[in-house]
Structure 1
Amino acid sequence: MTAHVDLNMARTLAKSSAVSVELLPLVARFSLRAGTSEQAALSKALGLALPTKIGQCARKNKLEVLCLGPDEWSILAPEDQAVKITDACEAIYAKAPHSLTEVSDREIAVQITGVKATDLMTIGCPRDLDLLPVGEARRTIFDGVSAVLWRDGADEYRLDLWRSFAPHVISLLETGCTELAAE
């Protein structure tokens, strides 16, 4: 059964000696769509080169940009940077038309870390996680729920989930954490 989860407060959701599941602090999130000819101007406006290979991430300071498709990126930044990002992209819109949509309220992030992190992820993710390079991310599903899976370290993952599906996925991760602790 899926229980109500407060998705606005970062905290540990489940923890064992093998794996930890944490709800991460909220961040500013944007969906960016742009053609090839606009990418250079957008890179300059954002202060980092937009990655061009699907799954690649670019990072500078606390700004993260993930290439989700040939003309699509996900941008994550501290909440206090949202206006700066919006203003920078708006300033170049006339010369570099694009679609920048803030989706901060749509998604949350859960971090899974520990020596059994990969084992825990396999309870709902059909991907071969050994093929996901550290520092990259992919769209995938987790128990039928659309998600973006980041591999931040050898034993460290992050799942970006729509809020409406988060309680279901969190419940599965908590159960799996308990089961792995019993091994």
Structure 2
Amino acid sequence: MADTAHHVGLLSPLSQYAGRFARATRASGGALRLAELPFLAQVNVRLDPKGPAADAVALALGFPLPPQPNTVARGGGLAALWLGPDEWLVVGPAGTRTHLEARLREAVGDRHAAVVDVSAQRTTLLVAGARARELLAHGCSLDLHPRTFGAGRCAQTTLARAQVVLVPRDGCRPGFWVLVCSSFAGYLAAWLLDAALEYTQGRADPTGA
């Protein structure tokens, strides 16, 4: 059962930016879409990728944890992001954090592994649209060309000097998840809105100033 009760009365880290994101999206004429994806379930998993705990987690998820650096595995509405040789971040829909953590804890049992709910540590920004890569390139040194950094990839990097996890979206629509620590979320949101002004020339000020 979804743990929606945890969100009743709570404000997401970027709730005050919702209107400004919507205005920037409209003002870009479809070139950009900015939004927060609040309260996504995020569970950190640490284990030996060649051990029995990895097999148990694969059964629980319905797909194996990705073994290759900076890659993503998906299935059943979940995404597993490779963060290190023995570390992954499993991301699920909002309202599923308690169930997801319990499911993974039950899977590993008393095997040598660690499963920790870190959902409150980060929020997720959606940066999408035809100009999404250009916008992010203003503050990120990675080569974001889809041949180099397309669907199925992820990276721990910096965006406008803020530590983020960057994940290209699957599908035909260009876009990215930007997972950022809640304490830096406001700073990064303001930077994105400022950088987006390049794509809103001659339109209403998306910052609402």
Query: What range describes the TM-score normalised by the shorter chain of this pair?
Result: 0.7 to 0.9
Deviation digits for residues 90-145 of structure 1 (CA, Å, limit 9, x no counterpart)? 22444522111111111011111112111100111111111212232111101111
User: Which residue is 2:63 aligned to?
Assistant: 48
Q: 1:11 to 1:48 in 2, by over 3 A?
A: farther
Q: 1:21 to 1:179 in 2, by over 3 A?
A: same
- Partners in 2 of 1:133 and 1:11 — Cα distance? 27
Structure ranking higher in strand proportion: 1
User: Please, what is the CA RMSD of the aligned residues?
Assistant: 2.2
| More off after superposition, 12-21 vs 163-172 | 12-21
| More off after superposition, 43-52 vs 168-177 | 43-52
> Is structure 2 residue 174 aligned with structure 1 residue 155?
yes
Secondary structure of the 2:189 match is helix
> Is structure 2 residue 42 aligned with structure 1 residue 23?
no
Matching residue's letter, 2:178? L
Question: Of the candidates 137, 149, 153, which is equivalent to residue 136 of structure 1?
Answer: 153
Give the length in aligned residue pairs.
179
User: Are the equivalent residues in 2 in contact too, given 1:11–1:24 (CA < 8 A)?
Assistant: no
Matching residue's letter, 2:33? S
Matches for 1:1-183 after TM superposition, within 5 Å:
6-8=13-15, 11=18, 13=21, 14-15=24-25, 16-17=28-29, 18-36=31-49, 37=51, 38-130=53-145, 131-152=148-169, 155-182=174-201
- Over the matched positions of the two proteins, sequence identity in percent amounts to 24
Q: 1:99 to 1:6 in 2, by over 3 A?
A: closer
Secondary structure of the 1:119 match is helix
Shift of 1:163: 0.6
Q: 1:114 to 1:35 in 2, by over 3 A?
A: same
Structure ranking higher in helix proportion: 2
- Partners in 2 of 1:109 and 1:49 — Cα distance? 24
TM-score with structure 1 setting the length: 0.88
Please, which runs of 5 or more residues in structure 1 have no aligned partner?
Answer: none
Shift of 1:57: 1.2
TM-score with structure 2 setting the length: 0.77
Please, which runs of 5 or more residues in structure 2 have no aligned partner?
Answer: 1-11, 203-209
User: Which residue is 2:206 aligned to?
Assistant: none
User: Are the equivalent residues in 2 in contact too, given 1:28–1:78 (CA < 8 A)?
Assistant: yes
Q: 1:67 to 1:10 in 2, by over 3 A?
A: farther
